[in-house]
Amino acid sequence: MVPAGIAAVDVRRSFGGVHAVRGVTLEASAGAVTGLVGPNGAGKTTLLLMLASLLAPDGGSIRIAGVDPVADPAGARSRLGWMPDSLGAWPSLSVRETLETTGRLYDLDRAAAARRAEELIDEVGLRDLADAHARVLSRGQKQRLGLARALVHEPSVLLLDEPASGLDPQARVDLRVLLRRYAAAGKTVLISSHVLAELEEVVDDAVYIVAGATVSADRVAMAAGRRRPWRIRVADLDARAVALPVATALGLDVAGVGVDRRDVLVPFASESDAAAGLRALVDAGIAVAEFSAATGLLEHTFLDLGTSDGARS
Ligand SMILES: Nc1ncnc2c1ncn2[C@@H]1O[C@H](COP(=O)(O)OP(=O)(O)OP(=O)(O)O)[C@@H](O)[C@H]1O
């Protein structure tokens, strides 16, 4: 059996009295993009640092492409690419020099490092800034350089901490395409982000962390299964005017539907219930112009998990 790209079992790490990570168990499959989702201070960065072999866990076990980063950090680093949430090193090197130097650190010879740097400059859209010093780059440009740096040695596992922060809409789309391409090539991608709508479009799977611990699959399923609102817009009519006919067509009390600007908000328990609701509205002659879930599944689940009672002890 092919081992999971990333496997963590009961990983723990404290800083003095702060239990930043107190029981994380997760698997991220090769060939997939896995989202790491959790509120501020949940322990995501601490976990990613441990997976990246940059911070020692107090307990538990980690495997990166089958390698234990505690016992063999060099072996793990040769297999993983790490993109921190802010680019640290080498402000006085140019974009090209940064990538060439990183390649040399990963034992590429001079020619191979130069070749790889040119490939990556194009891949992340920094061609016009290839000779610019890293210190003059904008936040979004630094993010792109950080991504390129993580990819230099063609790692089989990619760990990304908030990679989309600072990126403009085009760069976000480019990032999404790149991550999907990496996953399609059989690599493992683990990505933390607060931009859940964006994560929604790129991940195959998600791991939720609350208060330093992974949330159990049962708890996630329960949160995901709760009713969530759909937005319904009726052509050329104010939401207030259509709330009653919409509720009637759906067999609901009008108090059970909400109004938000031009939209009526109706909770459905599942996508198939929503589809049946749409059919009922159309059958009732209501001119539905827009019909969509008001929150994505990740965001809905995240909001429902909300507090620490969602965490496994
Ligand atoms: N070096 C450190 N020393 C002391 N406490 C730390 C250290 N690093 C993290 N912590 C604490 O550990 C907890 C988890 O922090 P971490 O940065 O891992 O969370 P996060 O999920 O990445 O948060 P965010 O979404 O806000 O980036 C926080 O309470 C934080 O204050």
Sheet containing 6-15: order of strands = 59-64, 6-15, 18-28, 213-214, 205-210, 32-37, 188-192, 157-161, 80-83
User: Probe ligand 1: pick from 12, 45, 192, 194, max atoms within 8 Å of CB?
Assistant: 45
Q: pLDDT (tens digit, 9 = 90+) per residue, 171-187?
A: 888 888 889 999 999 99
- Higher pLDDT: 264 or 223? It is 264
User: Could you read off the pLDDT of 98-122 as tens digits, one per residue?
Assistant: 999 999 999 999 999 999 999 999 9
What burial letters (b/e) apply to 162-191, b meaning 16+ CB within 10 Å?
bbbebbeeebbebbbebbeebbeeebbbbb
For residue 157 the two structure tokens come to 């596992």
Is the distance from the beta carbon of residue 18 to the nearest atom of ligand 1 less than 6 Å? yes
Give the mean model confidence (pLDDT) for residues 254-280: 92
Match domain 6-214 to its CATH number in 3.30.300.30, 3.40.50.10190, 3.40.30.10, 3.40.50.300. Answer: 3.40.50.300
User: With 80 as the cut, is the pLDDT of residue 2 above it?
Assistant: no
Quick check: 313 pLDDT over 70?
A: no
CATH code for residues 222-305: 3.30.70
What is the 8-class DSSP label of residue 69?
A: T
Q: How many CB atoms lie within 10 A of CB 238?
A: 11
Residue 295: its pLDDT value, please? 85
Task: Say if residue 312's pLDDT is above 90.
Answer: no
> How far apart are the CA of 285 and the centre of ligand 1, in A?
53
Give the closest residue (by CA) to ligand 1 atom 28: 41
So where are the chain's domains? 6-214, 222-305
> Which segment, 40-44, 61-65, 168-172, 261-265, is predicted with the most confidence on average?
61-65
User: What per-residue confidence (pLDDT) applies to 308?
Assistant: 41
How close is the Cα of 92 to the center of ligand 1, in Å? 29
Does any ligand 1 atom lie closer than 6 A to the CB of residue 86? Answer: no
The alpha helices in the chain, defined as continuous H runs, are 44-51, 73-79, 95-105, 110-123, 139-151, 169-184, 196-202, 217-225, 239-249, 271-283, 297-305
At residue 164, the pLDDT reads 85
pLDDT at 66 over 80: yes
